């Protein structure tokens, strides 16, 4: 074909017109994106999912939030600060401690899974016996257990072989999604799609959007909302803009400045709640120099936590314990290590490092992008520690790199200190205390301490709830204040923002949600 400049100009002009034609269609210009009546709820999540729908395969908060729509739980724990111990029955109608190692659940009748299979005690048995295996990564269970199926709708959790009291499942029952026995028998299917008894069923994964639709057979009746689009949008500014322009109906994890913009814009409402998540400064206790508790305590005394709260604004709540105020057993620990430079210097000198002299360079790892203001308060903590003589180097990483360095390893986890929060949707305190401070788990700090083990075992094995609470408040917390495997910096305040037309949502203090009574006008 002859190709001269005239032909080139002509064809490029034609191509321009062809591409430009749709732009000239005025319908495109009057297309304000607004969710209207009868449309699915658009939720924007700050974190991504794992790609494995087996609830026992991960500890990822976003997926736990999504599971709260799809799966059913034996009970639910609203965890209101004025009544943190309250449990609301869901798949169970009654629970009773038969003896030290047996907890009986009477189960609701007439409940079905999204694939149509009726819910029975066999599903509880399959779920508990599978997810409590020590090789399940989520490790929310205190140990292995067995389940006796008394009848179709009565199941008994037995913990005698696991060697721990069955009462631990009292609060945990609100945090363990119930899977179908049929799925548990077929791990491939279990991982490939979520199948629960919740108000919304999984339809498909569409890029970064998980599409859920209202489940006709939900035992409380089909929800009013026709569906939920669960989108991952990593950037907080983008999430805020999406709410403001109507793309999103509900967003999470906001910072103070964004809260202000949303409040000023009008037409939106906020849900601020003291969460179940504490943010900690974790010391790597299994390697030098923080294998010396005096140094950990000295570092804790170097930090003025009131400054951190000033930086966080609405996103932080003062903390004086290793669990959140909405957890069972919270107490303002009397000997909590407060800002005290003199005590810090005394401990430094006692540990053989007067004014920090002789200490190696200490790496403090933090993340940016997920938790609010981590870099900002990380810099302040580093400066406070440096002022007392700790040669701290702050290492700010994006979430994936930080996540890779988070957990303890043989010989100690990377760096010397690391920033991380811990959020679990149950009032059960051992999801934090035992997970992190007992030598059998020691997830991040890597502490191995016989005294701590003993007091944590005592707390776990105390059957009477009031007596157990007393052990936590009078023995566990004071000992943690002495050993300081980590310093609880503050309790996070979870902020959800939504359109004024969205009513009836319930937000649990760990970020889980209940939308079965929600309406969107």
Which residues between 15 and 34 bind another protein (CB under 8 A)? 16, 19-20, 22-23, 28-34
Binding status of residue 514 toward another protein by CB under 8 A: no
Of positions 152, 216, 357, 398, contacts another protein by CB under 8 A: 398
Of positions 163, 187, 358, 360, contacts another protein by CB under 8 A: 187
Of positions 41, 46, 57, 159, contacts another protein by CB under 8 A: 57
Peptide bond into 289 cis (omega under 30): yes
Report the distance separating Cα 436 and Cα 283, nearest Å. Answer: 11
Nearby residues of 87 by Cβ (< 8 Å), 6 or more positions away: 75, 76, 77, 170, 171, 173, 174
Binding status of residue 104 toward another protein by CB under 8 A: no
For the bound state, the minimum distance from the C-beta of residue 484 to another protein, rounded and expressed in Å, comes to 23
Q: Bridge partners of 80?
A: 83
Task: Find the helix packing angle between 256-265 and 236-244, rounded to 10°.
Answer: 10
Shorter beta-carbon distance to another protein: residue 167 or 210: 210
Q: Two tokens at 106?
A: 């009477």
The residue written with tokens 């994964």 in the block is: 205
Shorter beta-carbon distance to another protein: residue 9 or 288: 9
Q: Bridge partners of 200?
A: 214
For the bound state, the minimum distance from the C-beta of residue 105 to another protein, rounded and expressed in Å, comes to 27
Q: Quick check: helix, strand or coil at residue 494?
A: strand
Which residues between 200 and 219 bind another protein (CB under 8 A)? 204-208, 210
Q: Two tokens at 436?
A: 């992190």
Q: Which listed range, 44-52, 86-94, 96-104, 296-304, lies at the site for another protein (CB under 8 A)? A: 44-52
Report the distance separating Cα 378 and Cα 385, nearest Å. Answer: 11
Q: Which listed range, 187-195, 275-283, 303-311, 484-492, lies at the site for another protein (CB under 8 A)? A: 187-195
Of positions 59, 93, 291, 461, contacts another protein by CB under 8 A: 59
Shorter beta-carbon distance to another protein: residue 91 or 242: 242
Of positions 153, 158, 438, 443, contacts another protein by CB under 8 A: 443
For the bound state, the minimum distance from the C-beta of residue 487 to another protein, rounded and expressed in Å, comes to 21
Of positions 191, 224, 439, 462, contacts another protein by CB under 8 A: 191
Q: Residues 265-294 vs another protein: string with x where CB under 8 A?
A: x-----------------------------
| Start-to-end Cα distance in the chain | 60
* CA torsion through residues 185, 188, 190, 194, sign: negative
* CA torsion through residues 144, 149, 154, 160, sign: negative
For the bound state, the minimum distance from the C-beta of residue 440 to another protein, rounded and expressed in Å, comes to 14
Q: Which listed range, 75-83, 246-254, 316-324, 507-515, lies at the site for another protein (CB under 8 A)? A: 246-254
Shorter beta-carbon distance to another protein: residue 336 or 437: 437
Please state, in angstroms and as integers, the Cα–Cα distance from residue 188 to each residue in 113, 135, 320, 400, following that order: 18, 17, 44, 26
Q: Two tokens at 35?
A: 């969710």
Of positions 149, 154, 203, 241, contacts another protein by CB under 8 A: 241
Binding status of residue 1 toward another protein by CB under 8 A: no
Report the distance separating Cα 67 and Cα 512, nearest Å. Answer: 8
* Residues that contact another protein, how many (by CB under 8 A): 73
Q: Single out the residue of 222, 202, 189 nearest to residue 71, CA to CA.
A: 202
Q: Two tokens at 278?
A: 């504490």
Which residues between 219 and 238 bind another protein (CB under 8 A)? 231-235, 237-238
For the bound state, the minimum distance from the C-beta of residue 315 to another protein, rounded and expressed in Å, comes to 21
Which residues between 248 and 267 bind another protein (CB under 8 A)? 248, 265
For the bound state, the minimum distance from the C-beta of residue 190 to another protein, rounded and expressed in Å, comes to 8
Binding status of residue 50 toward another protein by CB under 8 A: yes
For the bound state, the minimum distance from the C-beta of residue 136 to another protein, rounded and expressed in Å, comes to 8
Of positions 35, 46, 47, 227, contacts another protein by CB under 8 A: 47
For the bound state, the minimum distance from the C-beta of residue 33 to another protein, rounded and expressed in Å, comes to 4
Shorter beta-carbon distance to another protein: residue 316 or 446: 446
What DSSP element (H or E) covers 496?
A: strand 486-499
For the bound state, the minimum distance from the C-beta of residue 249 to another protein, rounded and expressed in Å, comes to 13
Report the distance separating Cα 51 and Cα 203, nearest Å. Answer: 15
Of positions 39, 182, 407, 453, contacts another protein by CB under 8 A: 407
Binding status of residue 404 toward another protein by CB under 8 A: yes
Q: Quick check: helix, strand or coil at residue 392?
A: strand
Shorter beta-carbon distance to another protein: residue 104 or 430: 430
Which residues between 116 and 145 bind another protein (CB under 8 A)? 135, 137-139
For the bound state, the minimum distance from the C-beta of residue 308 to another protein, rounded and expressed in Å, comes to 25
Q: Quick check: helix, strand or coil at residue 144?
A: coil
* CA torsion through residues 480, 485, 491, 496, sign: negative
Please, are residues 458 and 479 in contact by the beta-carbon 8 Å criterion? Answer: no
Shorter beta-carbon distance to another protein: residue 51 or 354: 51
Tally the residues of the chain. Answer: 521
Q: Quick check: helix, strand or coil at residue 160?
A: coil
Which residues between 338 and 377 bind another protein (CB under 8 A)? 369
3-state secondary structure string across 406-459: CCCCCCCCCCCEEEEEECCCCCCHHHCHHHHHCCCCCCCCCCCCHHHHHHHHHH
């Amino acid at each position: 074909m002859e190709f001269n400049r005239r032909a080139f100009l002509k064809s490029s002009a034609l191509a321009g017109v062809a591409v430009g034609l749709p732009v000239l269609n005025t319908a495109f210009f009057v297309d304000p994106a607004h969710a209207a009546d009868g449309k699915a709820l658009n939720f924007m999540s700050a974190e991504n999912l794992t790609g494995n729908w087996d609830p026992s395969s991960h500890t990822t908060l976003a997926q736990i939030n999504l599971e709260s729509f799809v799966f059913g739980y034996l009970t639910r724990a609203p965890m209101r600060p004025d009544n943190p111990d309250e449990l609301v029955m869901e798949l169970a109608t009654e629970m009773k401690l038969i003896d030290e190692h047996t907890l009986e659940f009477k189960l609701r009748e007439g409940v079905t899974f999204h694939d149509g299979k009726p819910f029975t005690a066999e599903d509880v048995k399959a779920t508990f016996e599978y997810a409590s295996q020590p090789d399940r990564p989520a490790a929310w269970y205190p140990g292995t257990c067995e389940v006796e199926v008394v009848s179709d709708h009565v199941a008994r959790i037995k913990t005698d072989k696991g060697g721990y009291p069955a009462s631990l499942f009292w609060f945990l029952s609100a945090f363990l999604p119930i899977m179908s026995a049929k799925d548990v028998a077929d791990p491939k299917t279990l991982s490939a799609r979520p199948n629960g008894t919740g108000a919304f069923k999984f339809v498909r994964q569409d890029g970064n959007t998980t599409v859920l639709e209202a489940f006709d057979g939900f035992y409380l009746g089909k929800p009013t909302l026709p569906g939920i689009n669960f989108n991952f949008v990593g950037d907080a500014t983008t999430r805020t803009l999406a709410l403001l322009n109507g793309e999103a109906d509900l967003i999470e994890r906001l910072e103070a400045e964004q809260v202000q913009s949303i409040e000023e814009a009008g037409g939106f409402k906020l849900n601020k709640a003291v969460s179940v998540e504490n943010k900690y400064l974790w010391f790597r206790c299994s390697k030098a120099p923080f294998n010396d508790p005096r140094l950990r305590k000295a570092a804790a005394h170097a930090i003025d936590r009131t400054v951190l709260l000033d930086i966080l604004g609405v996103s932080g709540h003062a903390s004086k314990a290793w669990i959140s105020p909405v957890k069972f057993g919270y107490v303002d620990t009397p000997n909590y290590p407060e800002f005290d430079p003199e005590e810090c210097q005394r401990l430094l000198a006692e540990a053989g490092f007067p004014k920090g002299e002789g200490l190696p360079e200490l790496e403090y790892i933090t993340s940016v992008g997920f938790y609010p203001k981590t870099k900002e308060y990380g810099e302040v903590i580093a400066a406070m520690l440096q002022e007392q003589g700790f040669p701290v180097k702050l290492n700010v990483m994006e979430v994936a790199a930080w996540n890779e360095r988070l957990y303890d390893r043989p010989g100690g986890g990377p760096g010397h200190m690391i920033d991380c929060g811990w959020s679990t949707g149950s009032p059960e305190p051992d999801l934090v205390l035992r997970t992190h401070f007992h030598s059998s788990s020691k997830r991040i700090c890597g502490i191995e301490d016989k005294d701590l083990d003993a007091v944590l075992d005592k707390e776990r094995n105390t059957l009477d709830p009031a007596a157990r609470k007393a052990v936590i408040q009078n023995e566990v917390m004071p000992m943690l204040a002495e050993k300081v495997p980590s310093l609880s910096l503050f309790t996070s305040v979870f902020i959800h923002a939504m359109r004024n037309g969205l009513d009836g949502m319930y937000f649990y203090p760990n970020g889980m949600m209940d939308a079965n009574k929600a309406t969107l006008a």
